[in-house]
């Protein structure tokens, strides 16, 4: 059931994600300015606040935005723009004439947990690992369909969704934009039924979902794509020069579906059998970028992702992130006009294993009106075939030679691994935790015993040690290990002592707080397995190797016999001590707080607030963090919004959730005028 086999409400429109980027790296132009693990300006960085801000606004030498990225003043807020319901109905009976069509759809920020007032701001997009490109998350406070005092649907519920399927969506990305302009991101949210505050009980589309007695809640799946910074490099640099301090949000398209959720279904990741698309372009004259080509200049497959669910009468497929668009929209800022068509693959052939089941026509032009979901009616024989064999889809041979000159082969992953765990902030002092994995084979339980390989690894750039000692040893091989179990790469294989070099690299690159590699068995007939992952404590002294015993790491899981089937979850562990020393606003080191003594303004600024003043200047548009009078004046709000009460809301401070517990304690000690207890 869920979005694939149950009643649906589809919508599309624009989306605006105003993420700040200056925390995406800690080394700028070869010089380390900030420590992203223990958020602070690094000792020895004796530049003043003014000079660091100016530096981050400077254009890069490559002419690509600025040293602080393409959005220094982002406030992390996310909002739909003119998103409206486009269709609704039951699978196979989706109508663009439903009463709800054209009603606006809004993702909401959180109400204040203390008073219930608000929302005062939008949902917020936060990267657990700002240096990575594999996952982001959105903290949400609810959903609304319709406007005014009597919306058609109003849901209030604090929840978070993480990105899935960050796959290729567009062949040729936008100019003057990051590579992510070619990428799709899928998000899924679950709202329990008791979080529905009000709804129009006369509306048939809503009644089908909310009135379903089997439904445990409402699930919302949306994809964003065609994302690019609103301003070009030239526009941004010009505005920085004039101190206009603009935010430069990433803007693009959103297509989504709202549906009933049922027991046993995933809440925060897409539902269904996993389909993997492989696109190939045989016209080398039209290569989009080197991104698409391997070293041998043969066209590399572009991988996409879809999901399928089989019911007695219908095979429903979520093809939203399975099908490709050829080009980015022509008008950079037009995110609410009709979406350009996908590549027209014409007639597609659906197989169950090697058996052709049916052929169907692609929907390249209006797919987004239907949430990108295709419902194919199946008879009993087709159902039996699809239930017992892997789904396969192929573009027709005729069309592959046609104008698009692309071929598409879709194969169902033999095994799908997924989890509700995607981005997790580890509790202070945790020594281990359990992660439950869901495992499916052809949408059902495992048919054979399956072994999973689990290994900690890097999530993004951290740890970010000096690798100069390896430059000669690597002999031109630029591959770095991503997990503890990565084998020696081919480019290093001919190098003497390859194994030793590779292991040395792992030693300096791998975070060390997240367990050790392990294998775990899942028995035939099972659909779930739980892994216990240990959390290592830092050796004494605790801050001896902070990058290894605190920070950000990924835990990566693969099926040993189906290595293309994998899953990862990211974890962040905060350091338990303050950085040993930190420079203040003039670049001079400030003495660390002393236990038993009052915390001074200079100390709380250097050890806590300065990082946020410099790296998240949008915060200072609300309350300038570099002035004691402001910080003191906002003290009650800062105390509240750094408390656990706000942790699960979009109002938690800092929004980027990088402030360590010990930094929070220091801030509270200063604001409460208490002595420092460490």
Partner 1 sequence: MKRTPLYLAIGAVVLPALYACAPGAQQVSNQQASSQQVSSQQIESATVDSDIISCEFPKDVPAANASQAEFDRYSWRMFTALNQAAGDYRGTPDCAQPLGSTSNTVWRSYKQVGEIFLEDGSSPGPWNSAINQQQVWSSISKVSEDGETAESTINQPVGGWLTDQQGNPTYYQIAANEVSYNYIVNNGIYNKEGAESFSQKINFPDYSVETKASWRIMEPGDDQSRYLTTPATVETFNDEGDKRGVTKEVVLGLVGLHIITKAKGYPQWVWATFEQVDNVTDQSVYGRPNSYFNLEAANDGTANQSPCKNHNFPCKPRPGTVFSTPDPLTRLTPIAAETGAVNKEAQTELSANKFMQYYELVTTQRPKYPNDPGNPSGTPTPAVSANTTMESYIQPVSSCMDCHSTAAIQPGQRSDFSFLFLHAKSVKQP
Selected from 149, 194, 296, 629, the binder of partner 1 by CB under 8 A is 629
Selected from 58, 112, 204, 486, the binder of partner 1 by CB under 8 A is 112
> Which CB sits closer to partner 1, 254 or 552?
254
* Piece of the chain touching partner 1 by CB under 8 A; list 100-108, 164-172, 217-225, 387-395: 100-108
d(CA 652, CA 160): 13
Give, as one character, the DSSP assignment of residue 179. G
Q: What are the C-alpha distances in Å from 387 to residues 313, 353, 359, 380, 393?
A: 12, 10, 18, 10, 15
CA-based torsion, 395, 400, 403, 406: positive or negative: positive
How far apart are CB 103 and partner 1 at their closest, in Å? 12
How far apart are CB 586 and partner 1 at their closest, in Å? 8
* Piece of the chain touching partner 1 by CB under 8 A; list 167-175, 291-299, 516-524, 601-609: 601-609
* Piece of the chain touching partner 1 by CB under 8 A; list 79-87, 261-269, 300-308, 514-522: 79-87
> Which CB sits closer to partner 1, 329 or 641?
641
Report the candidate in 145, 118, 129, 108 with the shortest Cα–Cα distance to residue 19.
Answer: 129
How far apart are CB 50 and partner 1 at their closest, in Å? 8
Report the candidate in 533, 461, 422 with the shortest Cα–Cα distance to residue 126.
Answer: 422
> Which CB sits closer to partner 1, 89 or 123?
123
For residue 609, give the 3-state DSSP assignment: helix
Instruction: Annotate 207-254 with DSSP letters as a single string.
Output: HHHHT-TT--EEEEEEEEEEEEESS-HHHHHHHHHTT------EEEEE
Placement of tokens 């009616």 in the chain: 377
How far apart are CB 129 and partner 1 at their closest, in Å? 26
How far apart are CB 463 and partner 1 at their closest, in Å? 32
> Which CB sits closer to partner 1, 565 or 620?
620
For residue 464, give the 3-state DSSP assignment: coil
Instruction: Give the DSSP H/E element, type plus range, for residue 382.
Output: helix 380-388
> Which CB sits closer to partner 1, 12 or 328?
12
> Which CB sits closer to partner 1, 95 or 114?
114
Site for partner 1 contains 85 (CB under 8 A) = no
How far apart are CB 56 and partner 1 at their closest, in Å? 12
Site for partner 1 contains 55 (CB under 8 A) = no
Selected from 242, 434, 466, 644, the binder of partner 1 by CB under 8 A is 242
Selected from 133, 134, 626, 648, the binder of partner 1 by CB under 8 A is 626
Site for partner 1 contains 627 (CB under 8 A) = yes
How far apart are CB 268 and partner 1 at their closest, in Å? 20
Report the candidate in 608, 649, 599 with the shortest Cα–Cα distance to residue 626.
Answer: 608
Kindly determine how many residues on this chain lie close enough to bind partner 1 according to the rule CB under 8 A: 57
Report the candidate in 216, 374, 364 with the shortest Cα–Cα distance to residue 309.
Answer: 374
Question: What number of residues does the chain have?
Answer: 678
Site for partner 1 contains 77 (CB under 8 A) = yes
* Piece of the chain touching partner 1 by CB under 8 A; list 290-298, 465-473, 517-525, 582-590: 582-590
* Piece of the chain touching partner 1 by CB under 8 A; list 112-120, 316-324, 500-508, 559-567: 112-120
Q: What are the C-alpha distances in Å from 384 to residues 195, 217, 273, 311, 572?
A: 38, 30, 15, 10, 45
Report the candidate in 136, 419, 179, 431 with the shortest Cα–Cα distance to residue 288.
Answer: 179
Site for partner 1 contains 45 (CB under 8 A) = no
How far apart are CB 337 and partner 1 at their closest, in Å? 16
Q: What are the C-alpha distances in Å from 88 to residues 9, 22, 203, 390?
A: 4, 41, 11, 29
> Which CB sits closer to partner 1, 91 or 119?
119
d(CA 349, CA 308): 15
* Piece of the chain touching partner 1 by CB under 8 A; list 115-123, 273-281, 322-330, 349-357: 115-123
> Which CB sits closer to partner 1, 16 or 440?
16
Q: What angle do CA 520, 425, 564 make, to 5 degrees?
A: 40
d(CA 418, CA 450): 15
Interface residues for partner 1 in 116-175 (CB under 8 A)?
A: 117-123, 144, 147, 151
How far apart are CB 489 and partner 1 at their closest, in Å? 45
User: Do 454 and 531 meet the contact criterion of CB atoms below 8 Å apart?
Assistant: yes
Interface residues for partner 1 in 5-24 (CB under 8 A)?
A: 16
How far apart are CB 642 and partner 1 at their closest, in Å? 11
User: Do 565 and 418 meet the contact criterion of CB atoms below 8 Å apart?
Assistant: no
What are 245-248's contacts with CB under 8 Å, separation 24+? Answer: 245/73, 245/617, 245/621, 246/73, 247/18, 247/71, 247/73, 247/74, 247/75, 247/618, 248/70, 248/71, 248/72, 248/73, 248/74
Report the candidate in 462, 647, 446 with the shortest Cα–Cα distance to residue 554.
Answer: 462
Site for partner 1 contains 587 (CB under 8 A) = no
> Which CB sits closer to partner 1, 304 or 649?
649
Selected from 99, 414, 480, 634, the binder of partner 1 by CB under 8 A is 634
How far apart are CB 69 and partner 1 at their closest, in Å? 17
Site for partner 1 contains 250 (CB under 8 A) = no
What residues make contact with partner 1 under the rule CB under 8 A?
16, 73, 77, 79-81, 106-109, 112-115, 117-123, 144, 147, 151, 242-247, 584-586, 601-602, 605, 617-618, 620-624, 626-630, 632-637, 639-641
């Amino acid at each position: 059931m869920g979005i694939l086999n149950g009643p649906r409400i589809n919508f599309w429109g624009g989306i605006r994600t105003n993420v700040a980027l200056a925390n995406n790296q800690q080394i700028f132009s070869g010089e380390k300015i900030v420590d992203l693990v223990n958020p602070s300006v690094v000792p020895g960085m004796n530049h003043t606040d003014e000079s660091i801000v100016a530096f981050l606004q400077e254009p890069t030498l490559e002419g690509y935005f600025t040293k602080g990225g393409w959005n220094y003043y982002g406030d992390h807020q996310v909002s739909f723009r003119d998103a409206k319901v486009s269709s609704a109905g039951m699978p196979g009976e989706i109508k663009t004439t439903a009463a709800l069509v054209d009603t606006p759809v809004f993702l909401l920020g959180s109400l204040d947990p203390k008073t219930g007032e608000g929302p005062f701001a939008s949902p917020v997009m936060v990267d657990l690992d700002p240096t990575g490109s594999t996952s982001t998350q959105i903290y949400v406070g609810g959903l609304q369909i319709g406007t005014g005092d009597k919306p058609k649907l109003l849901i209030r519920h604090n929840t978070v969704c993480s990105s899935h399927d960050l796959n290729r969506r567009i062949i040729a990305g936008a100019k003057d934009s990051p590579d992510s302009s070619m990428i799709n991101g899928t998000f899924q949210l679950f709202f329990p039924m008791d979080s529905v505050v009000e709804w129009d009980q006369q509306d048939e589309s809503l009644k089908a979902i909310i009135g379903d007695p089997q439904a445990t809640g409402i699930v919302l799946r949306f994809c964003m794509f065609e994302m690019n910074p609103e301003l070009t490099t030239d526009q941004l640099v010009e505005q920085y020069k004039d101190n206009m301090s603009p935010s430069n949000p990433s803007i693009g398209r959103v297509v989504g579906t709202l549906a009933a959720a049922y027991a046993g279904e995933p809440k925060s990741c897409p539902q269904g059998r996993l389909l993997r698309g492989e696109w190939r372009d045989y016209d080398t004259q039209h290569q989009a970028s080197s991104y698409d080509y391997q070293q041998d200049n043969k066209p590399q497959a572009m991988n996409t992702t879809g999901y399928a669910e089989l019911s007695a009468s219908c095979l429903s497929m979520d093809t939203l992130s399975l099908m490709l668009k050829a080009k980015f929209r022509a008008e950079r800022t037009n995110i609410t006009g009709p979406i350009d068509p996908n590549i027209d693959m014409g007639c597609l052939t659906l197989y169950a294993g090697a058996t052709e089941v049916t052929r169907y026509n692609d929907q390249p032009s209006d797919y987004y009106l239907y949430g990108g979901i295709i419902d194919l009616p199946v008879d009993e024989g087709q159902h039996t075939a699809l239930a017992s064999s892997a789904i396969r889809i192929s573009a027709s041979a005729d069309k592959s030679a046609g104008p698009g000159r692309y071929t598409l082969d879709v194969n169902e992953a033999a095994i799908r691994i997924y989890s509700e765990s995607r981005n997790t902030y580890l509790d202070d002092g945790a020594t281990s935790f359990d992660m439950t994995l869901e495992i499916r084979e052809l949408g059902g339980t495992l048919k054979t015993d399956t072994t999973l390989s689990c290994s900690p690894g890097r999530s993004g750039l951290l740890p970010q040690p000096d690798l100069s000692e390896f430059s000669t040893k690597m002999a031109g091989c630029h591959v770095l290990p991503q997990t503890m179990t990565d084998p020696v790469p081919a480019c290093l294989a001919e190098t003497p002592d390859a194994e030793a070099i590779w292991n040395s690299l792992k030693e300096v690159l791998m975070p060390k707080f997240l367990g050790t590699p392990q294998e775990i068995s899942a028995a035939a007939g099972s659909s779930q397995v739980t892994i216990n992952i240990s959390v290592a404590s830092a050796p004494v002294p605790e801050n001896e190797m902070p990058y290894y015993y605190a920070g950000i790491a990924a835990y990566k899981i693969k099926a040993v016999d189906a290595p293309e089937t994998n899953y990862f979850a990211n974890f962040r562990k905060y350091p338990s001590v303050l950085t040993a020393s930190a420079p203040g606003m003039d670049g001079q080191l400030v003495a660390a707080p002393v236990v038993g003594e009052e915390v001074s303004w200079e100390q709380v600024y250097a050890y806590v607030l300065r990082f946020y003043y410099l790296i998240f200047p949008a915060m200072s548009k609300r309350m300038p963090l570099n002035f004691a009078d402001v910080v003191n004046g906002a003290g009650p709000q800062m105390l509240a919004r750094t408390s656990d009460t706000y942790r699960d809301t979009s109002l938690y401070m800092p929004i980027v959730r990088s402030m360590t517990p010990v930094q929070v304690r220091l801030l509270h000690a200063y604001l409460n005028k208490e002595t420092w207890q460490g």
